[in-house]
A and B are shown apart, each in its own frame.
Chain A
Amino acid sequence: QAVVTQEPSVTVSPGGTVTLTCGSSIGAVTSGHHSYWFQQKSGQAPRTLIYATSNKHSWTPARFSGSLLGGKAALTLSGAQPEDEADYYCLLSYSGTGVFGGGTKLTVL
Chain B
Amino acid sequence: QVQLQESGPGLVKPSETLSLTCNISGGYISGSISEYEWIWMRQPPGKGLEWIGYISFTGSTNYNPSLKSRVTISVVTSKNQISLMLSSVTAADTAVYYCARGSSVDSWGQGTLVTVSS
Contacts and interface: CB of A to CB of B under 8 A. Distances in A.
Contact of B65 (A1, A45, A51): A1
A45 B104 contact: no
A100 B49 contact: yes
Interface in B60-90: 62-66
A89 B48 contact: yes
Interface residues of B, number: 22
B49 A97 contact: no
A30 B103 CA distance: 17
A23 interface: no
Interface residues of A, number: 23
Contacts of A91: 49, 51
A interface SS class: strand
A2 B48 CA distance: 16
Given A48-B104, A57-B106, A102 B98 contact: no
7 contacts: A1-B66, A45-B98, A46-B108, A51-B105, A97-B63, A102-B48, A103-B49
Interface of A: 1, 34, 36, 38, 40, 45-48, 51-52, 55, 57, 89, 91, 96-103
Given A46-B98, A51-B103, 18 more contacts: A1-B65, A1-B66, A45-B98, A45-B110, A45-B111, A51-B104, A51-B105, A55-B104, A57-B106, A97-B51, A97-B62, A97-B63, A97-B65, A98-B51, A98-B64, A100-B51, A101-B48, A103-B49
